[in-house]
Amino acid sequence: MGEGRQYWLMKSEPDVFSIDDLARSPNHTTSWNGVRNYQARNFMRAMKLGDQVLFYHSNANPPSVVGIAEVVKIAYPDATQFDPQDPHFDPASKPEQPRWDVVDIRFVHKFETSLSLDVLRGQPRLKGMELLRRGSRLSVQPVRAAEWNQVVRLGRGRADG
DNA sequence: GCCAACGTTGGC
DNA sequence: GCCAACGTTGGC
């Protein structure tokens, strides 16, 4: 069988959908729709039940990792791609062969302290993190186990990092 | 609001 | 298949 639990990071603009919105959602769960980038989609397709997700607020002040979610439903077609009224409508995607997927994620935990990019950049152990790469725009990205552990340790209370 | 870094599109 | 033009993301 495959490896164990894997780790990911997903970006959302808090003005559009914040971690508090996730916590307030029915069953604390939402479908992650609107992804229209193939690399990000492929990462979602690789997600398994129970995979853990860092929830990141982009276009925020400051941009920060704010908590944890988990995958509760694996990839399935994104309904918004077929809805002409939806901003994410994709006229080229056919229902027989959907181009875009979602996964469902559920709220797990909100950090006591949000971890800004500045704070994360100050962590030598996070040097190779995709999020911190200059020009990194991927809205769904993998996180290494060591990076996950470090970020969560920071989020649980920044006493000694 | 600026702009760097990408991704996509379309002419050729 | 190249590449210029254009659109988007997202930090600053």
CA–C1' distance A107–C4 (Å)? Answer: 44
CA angle A51, A57, A62 (to 5 degrees): 140
CA angle A55, A56, A58 (to 5 degrees): 150
Domains of chain A as residue ranges with CATH: 7-155 (3.10.590.10)
CA–C1' distance A86–B10 (Å)? Answer: 25
The tens place of each residue's pLDDT in chain A, 161 residues long, gives 556 899 999 999 999 999 999 999 999 999 999 999 999 999 999 999 999 999 999 999 999 999 999 999 999 999 999 998 888 888 888 888 899 999 999 999 999 999 999 999 999 999 999 999 988 899 999 999 999 999 999 998 754 44
CA–C1' distance A152–C3 (Å)? Answer: 44
User: What's the pLDDT score for residue A1?
Assistant: 55
User: Strands, DSSP E only, in A5-145?
Assistant: 7-12, 29-31, 52-57, 64-77, 101-116, 140-143
